[in-house]
Amino acid sequence: MREIIAEIITIGDEILIGQIVDTNSAWLGKKLSDLGIRVKQISSVSDDKQHILNALSEAKTRADLIVITGGLGPTKDDITKNTLAEYFNTGMILHQATLQRVEEIFSTRNLPMIEMNRLQAFVPANCTVIENTTGTAPGMWFDYDGNVYISMPGVPAEMKTIFEDGVIAKLKEHFTMPSIRHRTLLTAGIGESFLAEKIKDVEDNLPLYIKLAYLPGLGQVRLRLTGYGDDGNKLDAEIDSFAQQIKNKALSYFFGEGDDSLEKYICRIFADNKWTLSIAESFTGGYISHLVTEVAGSSAYFKGAVVAYDNEVKINKLGVKRQTIIDHGSVSEQTIIEMAEGCKKELNTDYAIATSGVAGPSGGTAEKPVGTCWIAIACPNGKTIAKHFHMGSDRHNTIHRSGVVALDMLRKEIEK
Amino acid sequence: MREIIAEIITIGDEILIGQIVDTNSAWLGKKLSDLGIRVKQISSVSDDKQHILNALSEAKTRADLIVITGGLGPTKDDITKNTLAEYFNTGMILHQATLQRVEEIFSTRNLPMIEMNRLQAFVPANCTVIENTTGTAPGMWFDYDGNVYISMPGVPAEMKTIFEDGVIAKLKEHFTMPSIRHRTLLTAGIGESFLAEKIKDVEDNLPLYIKLAYLPGLGQVRLRLTGYGDDGNKLDAEIDSFAQQIKNKALSYFFGEGDDSLEKYICRIFADNKWTLSIAESFTGGYISHLVTEVAGSSAYFKGAVVAYDNEVKINKLGVKRQTIIDHGSVSEQTIIEMAEGCKKELNTDYAIATSGVAGPSGGTAEKPVGTCWIAIACPNGKTIAKHFHMGSDRHNTIHRSGVVALDMLRKEIEK
């Protein structure tokens, strides 16, 4: 079966000057991939007739399906519709059902309708209208010279409704789709190159129709397997098998799949076991608590945190001994252990995380340069694990990377 | 003066299948516009050699400057570097300074270095390396056949650092830019449409060559004035004048300009006055502390926070009376005042912020629906300000918006 190739064209200067982030393309990319259509390119172009015409001509050479968003509003700078009519070498006609819809919308909202709004009901003569149930600009489907073109408004809510309610069914009717399968495996605590080294044998044996991509983040790497083929069941089985082979090569680093996250995974394990957690944060300044509490349901297990930025707070709220800080400094194994154990006791939880480090840009010394940090996990069995890291010299990255590393240390303990 | 045209090419299947939203392009679009360079197209293409080569050839016909991100990692699917070498008809060479940097990074982090990491130091022979101070993949500058090509890693933090520290100066050196002036005014605590209403008279009188853009965020609106012209000094004077007129229309909402932030502004005021701050966070879960501690230098004034997710923590660590919570609930004026005053006393600071609310999705009632929250500021004069808000039904937005609102309440108090 021949692969169906799509190209997305988004129209609008506001994207090019960075005034808005183009989230439509990512949404469409995911929807089209899920349908088994391969998106080959996304092009964002300006509100300029010749530029749009060029983009359409180029896309035609690469793609079977061209999905266009934007430039359908009522104002002067919205030129997509007339440009499409020119591209298809046709004129504009009034679409009665759309005119009725626009009139209804204005009468419902008690707004006067001006000529500019009436123009919303004109479409290129070769167009099949796809109703827009949430706005005035209709969706449009064109079957022209062997390609399908779909034009939708750029307002995300309108575009999504038109695509889901009107476009998907028409695409399935028009094209014979291949099977496509995605699977994303989540890892933490291992760098991209080390992970690649570990799973090299499996990667080298992947067939051409299954691709592996590395998606690195701070302290985390996601692995995405994508397969294309005629037989969906066979693909499922193959991807399952490769996913398992990959996991087996580095089992302790994998914790979840898809849209899961370390924080959600930890939330589930704690809730299932009815354990509780508290956090003592020095240089991470509340970031780990923030990660944990962004997850809905975290109140079931997370009791609270002490952000002990100042040493007096470490002493008064976490029970760290003044002498420990004097003897070893606040960024030390001794202090981090007292912070973790003190936090666990003071907030009366099963587990506690503690962090202390030098976020920078100032505060570093030869012995403890910027990026130096200690992270500890106090466990219910009375054991406390403390580890020492260098997180680099960028303040923002040091904080964020440390958050992931701390949660990953906790994950390893609760998995034991 | 001839306009400089740029095209952005982002490389990576993860963008095309919608696994990540391409925020790099918007960021680059804004930065290039700020420099006076017009971005004509953004193209996102797959990790496929021929497709990348085609995109480069097409971009060359449209643009003077081609900015490429992505595909520079150490793994197999990262093919940008070799593809560029092929496009430029050259080979790969080892860049010694980059190799040293990569070796340093690995030795600082106490990690072993493998062959794959060493490959990061190879670049096309015609390349001028732009140092990457936050990662292993170098930025690259190519001057080829009348066009400039810049290739940077796709990891946003690395891309941004390379662009700001290494690329901007080289662009200014290479191209003759038109005069363009930007000025961004920061507001907090007022919605976009209300702000627009207040400054309408000034906006209506702007000349055609000065544009005003509203950039709304959660609880904050930035106003950007952009002027184009031949005479930079004249533009500066005009933009200064309009900026002042705009500020005068709504003085109390403006707190800063450019890349400033509420957190940085507050940090400066506290440091200048040698005041101290503590925070008691319930439903915001550490987010406000995180905002505050992301600012370098915050340790000068921020002593710490208690994330009192559980009521026992509010009682034991902040001194909230058990009876207050029983009588009024944890999301109430009475409790928030005790939290703020307790935090100020327990952590021994001049000011304290406190938050308590229903982040959702569960926990809402008819009387206190999801999004209900109380925020209080305890002040050095013994006065405590408490306010009540509805932040909407989305957990993430409720937390983030509340963080901004709390800091803005603090700003208003310290400005008195």
ipTM score assigned to the predicted complex? 0.78
pLDDT at B348: 97
The alpha-carbon gap from B335 to the nearest alpha carbon of chain A, in Å, equals 17
Q: Least CB-CB distance to B46: which of A40, A279, A397?
A: A40
pLDDT band at A245 (very low <50, low <70, confident <90, very high): very high
pLDDT at A139: 96
| Cβ contact, residue pair B15, A21, below 8 Å | no
Q: Least CB-CB distance to A390: which of B25, B78, B108?
A: B108
pLDDT at A77: 65
Interface test with A, best of B9, B16, B192, B275 (most A CBs within 10 A): B16
Q: Which of residues 122-161 of B touch A (CB under 8 A)?
A: 133-134, 155, 157, 161
CA B57 to chain centre: 33
Amino acid at A382: G
| pTM for this entry | 0.78
Distances from the Cα of B262 to the Cαs of A23, B27, B253, B267, B272, in angstroms?
27, 21, 11, 8, 15
Is the pLDDT reported for residue A304 higher than 80?
A: yes
Sheet with B302-308, side-by-side order of all strands: A384-390, A372-378, A351-357, A277-281, A302-307, B302-308, B277-281, B351-357, B372-378, B384-390
**How far, in Å, CA of A32 to CA of B310, rounded?**
44
Residue of chain B with shortest Cα separation from A44: B42
The alpha-carbon gap from A302 to the nearest alpha carbon of chain B, in Å, equals 7
The verdict on A343 touching B (C-beta cutoff 8 Å) is no
Interface test with B, best of A310, A356, A397 (most B CBs within 10 A): A310
Sheet with A179-188, side-by-side order of all strands: A210-217, A220-229, A179-188, A254-257
Distances from the Cα of B415 to the Cαs of A71, B254, B270, B313, in angstroms?
44, 12, 11, 31
| Cβ contact, residue pair B44, A40, below 8 Å | no
The pair of three-digit structure tokens given for residue B207, joined into one six-digit string = 């000349």
| Cβ contact, residue pair B281, A286, below 8 Å | yes
Q: Report all structural domains of chain A as residue ranges with CATH numbers, in order of start.
A: 4-174 (3.40.980.10), 179-257 (3.30.70.2860), 262-414 (3.90.950.20)
The verdict on A258 touching B (C-beta cutoff 8 Å) is no
**How far, in Å, CA of B273 to CA of A98, rounded?**
63
pLDDT at A114: 76
Contacts of A31 in chain B (CB under 8 A): 18
**How far, in Å, CA of B27 to CA of B5, rounded?**
17
| Cβ contact, residue pair B362, A303, below 8 Å | no
**Residues A194, B117 contacting (CB under 8 angstroms):** no
State the burial class of residue B46 (Cβ atoms within 10 Å of its Cβ: 0-12, 13-18, 19+).
buried
Which distant-in-sequence residues (6+ apart) come within 8 Å of B176 by Cβ? Answer: B1
pLDDT at A305: 98
The pair of three-digit structure tokens given for residue B2, joined into one six-digit string = 């001839």
Is the pLDDT reported for residue A134 higher than 90?
A: no
pLDDT at B212: 86
**Residues B308, A286 contacting (CB under 8 angstroms):** no
| Cβ contact, residue pair B114, A214, below 8 Å | no
A62-79 confidence digits (pLDDT tens): 999 999 999 887 666 678
Long-range contacts of B368-373 (CB under 8 A, 24+ apart): B368/B329, B368/B331, B369/B393, B370/B398, B371/B398, B372/B331, B373/B283, B373/B331, B373/B398, B373/B402
A306-359 confidence digits (pLDDT tens): 999 999 999 999 999 999 999 999 999 999 999 999 999 999 999 999 999 999
| Cβ contact, residue pair A286, B283, below 8 Å | no
The verdict on A245 touching B (C-beta cutoff 8 Å) is no
- Is B380 strand, coil or helix? coil
Terminal-to-terminal C-alpha distance of chain A:
47
B176: alpha, beta or left? (left if phi > 0; alpha if psi -120 to 50): beta
| Cβ contact, residue pair A44, B47, below 8 Å | no
**Residue B25: closest CA among B138, B163, B137, B147:** B163
Contacts of B42 in chain A (CB under 8 A): 15-16, 22, 42-44
Contacts of B29 in chain A (CB under 8 A): 15-18
pLDDT at B213: 80
List the Cα angle B146/B150/B151 in 5-degree steps: 140
Amino acid at A280: A
The pair of three-digit structure tokens given for residue A157, joined into one six-digit string = 């809510």
**Residues B48, B181 contacting (CB under 8 angstroms):** no
**Residue B83: closest CA among B12, B155, B161:** B12
Contacts of A213 in chain B (CB under 8 A): 12-14, 47, 77
pLDDT at A76: 64
Bigger pLDDT: A365 vs A117: A365
Interface test with A, best of B7, B9, B19, B118 (most A CBs within 10 A): B19
| Cβ contact, residue pair A309, B317, below 8 Å | no
The pair of three-digit structure tokens given for residue B336, joined into one six-digit string = 């928030």
Which distant-in-sequence residues (6+ apart) come within 8 Å of B196 by Cβ? Answer: B203, B214
pLDDT band at A105 (very low <50, low <70, confident <90, very high): confident
| Cβ contact, residue pair A214, B77, below 8 Å | yes
The verdict on B359 touching A (C-beta cutoff 8 Å) is yes
Which distant-in-sequence residues (6+ apart) come within 8 Å of A175 by Cβ? Answer: A4, A37, A64, A65, A148
**How far, in Å, CA of A166 to CA of B355, rounded?**
45
Contacts of B44 in chain A (CB under 8 A): 25, 41-43
Taking only the tens of pLDDT, chain B with its 416 residues reads: 578 999 999 999 889 988 888 999 999 999 998 888 989 999 999 999 999 999 999 999 999 999 999 988 877 778 999 999 999 999 999 999 999 998 988 888 888 888 888 888 999 999 999 999 888 899 999 999 999 999 999 989 899 999 999 999 999 999 988 778 889 999 998 887 788 889 999 999 999 889 888 777 777 888 989 888 888 899 999 999 999 999 999 999 999 998 899 999 999 999 999 999 999 999 999 999 999 999 999 999 999 999 999 999 999 999 999 999 999 999 999 999 999 999 999 999 999 999 999 998 888 999 999 999 999 999 999 999 999 999 878 898 899 999 999 999 999 999 98
pLDDT at B1: 55
* Mean pLDDT for all residues in chain A: 93
